[in-house]
Structure 1
Amino acid sequence: MRQIFGVKIISASYQCHSITAGHTHIRQEMQYPHLKKAAASQILGRGGFGIVYQGEHNNARVAIKRIELLRTEDHVRNPTEEERMMRCDHSNVLKVFAVDQDDDFKYIVLELCQSTLHDYIIRKYTGSTMPSELDALHQMACGLQHIHTVAVLVHRDISAQNVLIQSREGFPTVLKISDFGFCKPATERGSFSISKSGTGTTHFIAPELLIDNQLRGQRGTIACDVFSLGCVFYRFLTMGRHPFSTGDELTITLNIREGNHNLNGLNEDHFAREIIKEMIQLEPSKRPNITAVVDRLSA
């Protein structure tokens, strides 16, 4: 047994692929912790594809996400996207410090945050004062804008659970777009190939991704992220309501497919109501791009 980043690990000699500072190399011993037997007290959270542990990186506290490779799509193993993710350097995008991999798992070393927007919405957040409504929406939009325009990636899993809250004493509270497990490169026109498997978080998936477009040879566009963010905006502003809910949670997906939204949780004159209405349009081409959303929230 040995201890790296404050986590007890088993010594290993797998052939591993590691990426740090934009460089990829192959070596025989893992640089980052093999967390198969980490203590339960070190677990920060669990997701559909992995477990997040607490650790250290360059003498700083970090989160280390362990992803089971067998349960992920092939593109998640591609170093190209990981290098793009690590080039993301924006205050509203969760920083990826390093990536490591063995035969079974991928390990992603991430900036540490204290909570999620979902926790805030369900009133479990106990950190410092949240940003104003306008500032919160602007921060989230700026983060997604950076992912679309600088990293040139489509996120495909924008949800309240994947917006993290960084709350530090003496500093303003910051919201960060996180979880790049479904990210894919986008073309210059903002399109991408649609995966055969489902992507995203239930009730935040854009309608065009709920349809089997592979049979029709169609491609997705980054407008799917704008739709998802519009749903997050509304859920945040109304503390839990969904723009496609008619009182029955089971009908949300059906309403998304048919474009039946309901924004009655916001007053007619609320500054974000019209923006959200445009962001959640059924037709992707009718939604504003994320830069236009940022500009309107900056006005």
Structure 2
Amino acid sequence: MQELGDGDPRQIGGYRLLGRLGSGGMGHVHLARSDRGRTVAVKLVREELAGREEFRARFRYEVEAARLVGGDWTAPVLDADTEAAVPWVATGYVAGPSLQQVVGHDHGPLPERSLGTLAAGLAHALRDIHTAGLVHRDLKPSNVLLTIDGPRVIDFGIARALDTVSDGGVTRAGALVGSPGFMAPEQVRGDRITPACDIFCLGSVLVYAATGKMPFGTAQTGSHVLMYRIAHEKPDLRGVPEALRGLVLACLEKDPAARPGLAEVLRRTGAQDTVSDGVSHDPWLPGSLVAQLGRHAVSLLDTENPEPPAPSPPRD
């Protein structure tokens, strides 16, 4: 977490900002606390986007839709002000690192027993999202957070508001939404997006979690090459455990209709025996990661409200 800068607000709605968690195409994400002490993540929209009515209308719609997502495997939308000069949305804060951080930097690929719980938890999260009538469309390692109880999915639906704008500010239909390397073939082709899109992305995320690599290239592979391979070539599943390979291969079918539904994914992960109500039945992460999560929780408790910025000296 970064300290607040001079240009960052100290208060958004009823939330006191503590620091900046990150930035993205839509805006900045801050760690904050409510007046009653709950820790939340507040996403503040970029000012240039806030001034575009087509974006604001879509953002308003997506926030209301995201509020309908219930369940134990996502970060719930708690509050929002879509009519503010700079719109914002507050979600429950998930006290855990992203799958990208864990696999890419802190630990490396997850062991097989962790992969089963990861797959089951993500399938439950997608079921909750799809039940609310949403398609995530950008399921990727940075949008999957790991907790002691299991994985949590963030940023469902709301990022689609960016579908209304382009770099030139012109409204566009059927815009390409997603992250190269973790997109579905139908996203690459600009075809109609259905819940099966998220199943393909789930397969790609599981390959990354198991191997530390994307199934269709590396971080150095150009985006156009990645998208061509996603649409036309077979995935590289070297390093994926045999017990998981069949499910992953089914999820990565090019034809959306050939991919398994979430009920089938849950059955094949053995979810009924491993997870329930947002909690893994048994410890699911390696001990080193559990220790890291413990240290993270302690640092969160120790986080104090930042000092207000010093007043500017009076002008002569």
User: Whose strand fraction is larger, Structure 1's or Structure 2's?
Assistant: 1
Identify the residue that residue 52 of structure 1 maps to in structure 2.
Answer: 29
Name the CA distance, whole Å, in 1 between partners of 2:265 and 2:146. Answer: 21
Identify the residue that residue 159 of structure 1 maps to in structure 2.
Answer: 140
Flag the 1:130–1:157 CA change in 2: closer, same or farther, 3 A.
Answer: same
Flag the 1:48–1:183 CA change in 2: closer, same or farther, 3 A.
Answer: closer
Identify the residue that residue 265 of structure 2 maps to in structure 1.
Answer: 293
TM-score, structure 1 length as denominator? 0.72
Q: SS of the counterpart of 1:99?
A: strand
Instruction: Specify which of 61, 64, 74 is matched with residue 42 of structure 2.
Output: 64
State whether structure 2 residue 207 is matched by structure 1 residue 234: yes
- 1:150-229 mapped onto 2 (5 Å cutoff): 151-166=132-147, 172-180=148-156, 181-183=158-160, 195-213=173-191, 219-229=192-202
Flag the 1:76–1:198 CA change in 2: closer, same or farther, 3 A.
Answer: farther
The size of the alignment, in residue pairs, is 243
Q: Which amino acid aligns with 1:233?
A: L
Name the CA distance, whole Å, in 2 between partners of 1:248 and 1:123. Answer: 16
Flag the 1:131–1:116 CA change in 2: closer, same or farther, 3 A.
Answer: farther
Q: Which amino acid aligns with 1:258?
A: H
Cα-Cα RMSD: 3.0
Deviation at 1:248, TM superposition (A): 6.4
Cα-to-partner distance string for 1:147-203 (whole Å, 9 max, x where unaligned): 112x1211111000101123xxxxx3331111132359xxxxxxxxx9432201121
Identify the residue that residue 243 of structure 2 maps to in structure 1.
Answer: 271
Q: SS of the counterpart of 1:182?
A: helix
Flag the 1:89–1:102 CA change in 2: closer, same or farther, 3 A.
Answer: same
Name the CA distance, whole Å, in 2 between partners of 1:145 and 1:69. Answer: 33
Q: SS of the counterpart of 1:158?
A: coil
TM-score, structure 2 length as denominator? 0.68
Deviation at 1:78, TM superposition (A): 5.0
User: Whose helix fraction is larger, Structure 1's or Structure 2's?
Assistant: 2
Q: SS of the counterpart of 2:126?
A: helix
8 Å contact kept, 1:147–1:153: yes
Flag the 1:61–1:200 CA change in 2: closer, same or farther, 3 A.
Answer: same
Name the CA distance, whole Å, in 2 between partners of 1:195 and 1:201. Answer: 18
Deviation at 1:103, TM superposition (A): 5.3
List gaps (5 residues or longer) in structure 2. 1-8, 162-171, 272-316
8 Å contact kept, 2:40–2:93: yes
Cα-to-partner distance string for 1:107-151 (whole Å, 9 max, x where unaligned): 11111123111001113369xx997221121111111111112x1
Name the CA distance, whole Å, in 2 between partners of 1:67 and 1:125. Answer: 32
Flag the 1:131–1:274 CA change in 2: closer, same or farther, 3 A.
Answer: closer
Deviation at 1:90, TM superposition (A): 1.4
Flag the 1:69–1:158 CA change in 2: closer, same or farther, 3 A.
Answer: farther
Higher relative contact order by CA 8 Å / sep ≥ 6: 1 or 2? 2
List gaps (5 residues or longer) in structure 1. 1-6, 10-29, 167-171, 185-193, 214-218
Deviation at 1:80, TM superposition (A): 4.3
Deviation at 1:222, TM superposition (A): 1.2
Q: SS of the counterpart of 2:25?
A: coil
